[in-house]
Amino acid sequence: MDYIKQIFEIYHGNILLQPPCQSEIFSEIPQELRSILSISNGIQETMTTPLIDQREVIGWIIYPYDTIMSDTDFYKATYKIDGIVFASDGAGNPFVIKPNGTIVCFTGIDCEETEVANSLSNFFQL
């Protein structure tokens, strides 16, 4: 599965790739996420500012590896979540890849997980 192509299509090309991750990626990171990080250490969403026709970064679609690790450590220590934090919904609620591959959105206020997709591939569906 070409996740980067899938993300490119969903965001209509409004993405910014990063250089590949140079860190050793821990084995706890799911393979599909490892494959993305080996090509681009995080993917940012962009938009064009109409008046000046300049592309601006507006957020992360997939976090860089260091952010994935630090956010995962934080949510495991603070909320005892099980899984890997790889992005957020833009409102501060992280998306987590669970050990079984499902994707959940975690809300810290309620300490609740809501399943949003049964796989990373389905998470990035058109």
Please tell me the pTM assigned to this model: 0.91
Q: Under DSSP, is residue 104 helix (H, G, I), strand (E, B) or coil?
A: strand
Backbone CA torsion sign across 62, 111, 30, 120:
negative
**Bridge partner list, 48:** 55
Judged on CB neighbours under 10 Å (0-12, 13-18, 19+), 72 is: buried
Closest CA to 113 of 98, 91, 99, 123: 98
Q: What is the pLDDT of residues 58-85, one digit of tens each?
A: 999 999 999 999 999 999 999 999 999 9
| Residue 78 φ then ψ, to 5° | -85, -40
pLDDT at 1: 63
**pLDDT average per 10 residues of sequence, the chain (126 residues):** 90 95 93 95 91 86 97 96 95 95 94 95 83
| Alpha-helical runs (H) found in 52-116 | 65-79
